[in-house]
Structures are given as structure tokens and as C-alpha cells.
Amino acid sequence: MQNSDLERAHVTVSGQVQGVFFRDSTRQKAKELGLAGWVKNTPDGRVEALFEGPSERVREMVRWCEAGPQQASVENVDTDFESAGGDLEAFEVL
């Protein structure tokens, strides 16, 4: 896949998003979509993630983050779209 077909999204999700399986659910959804990147909790109670892959799948993942898993209560999703580096190979929980 050419880098021009790839997109990267850096996402920060706020709300009730820790302790509700947000990271594991994100990992499962990203794997289902074939995306690379990572997801982690931040000390201030948010979840931060980086998704890289085909543009339409990255955007689907960002839309998924706006709701999150059933137990979550998402208040806000900040998203920065960036050029894909093509250097990510897998998706992991940090």
C-alpha cells in the first residue's frame, strides 16, 4: 500500500473512558479494521490513541471513538489528522 493511501489520526477521548474497557475495545476494533497504532490511558483520565491505515478505515475508527464501548460515556473527541508515516506495523495497548 502506498503512503498516499494511508492516513494517521491522533485522537484524545474525554469523558468516562477509563475503567470501562475502552482501551481493549479500541484494540479489538482497530484490529478488525486492520489498523496499526496504539491506545493508552493518560494521567488526567482521558484515553489517547493513534490510528494509521487506509483513510476510510481510520475515519471509521475515529467515528467509533465518538461512542466507544457500551460502558463508556464519551464527552469529547479531539482529532488531529496527520500524514501517515507507514512505520507502524501492529496495534497495541500501551
Question: What are the residue ranges spanned by the domains of the chain?
Answer: 3-89
The per-residue pLDDT for 16 is 96
- Choosing from 3, 27, 41, 57, the catalytic residue is 41
Residues of the chain with pLDDT under 50: 1-2
**pTM of model > 0.75:** yes
The per-residue pLDDT for 3 is 54
CATH number of 3-89: 3.30.70.100
The per-residue pLDDT for 1 is 44
Using DSSP, state whether 35 is helix, strand or coil: coil
Using DSSP, state whether 60 is helix, strand or coil: helix
23 carries an active-site annotation: yes
76 carries an active-site annotation: no
> Nearest-CA neighbor of 55 among 3, 13, 91, 90?
3
Distance separating alpha carbons of residues 3 and 42, to the nearest angstrom: 29
- Give the CA count within 13 Å in the CB-facing half-sphere of 75: 8
- Choosing from 8, 23, 27, 46, the catalytic residue is 23
Set of cell numbers at residue 44: 488526567
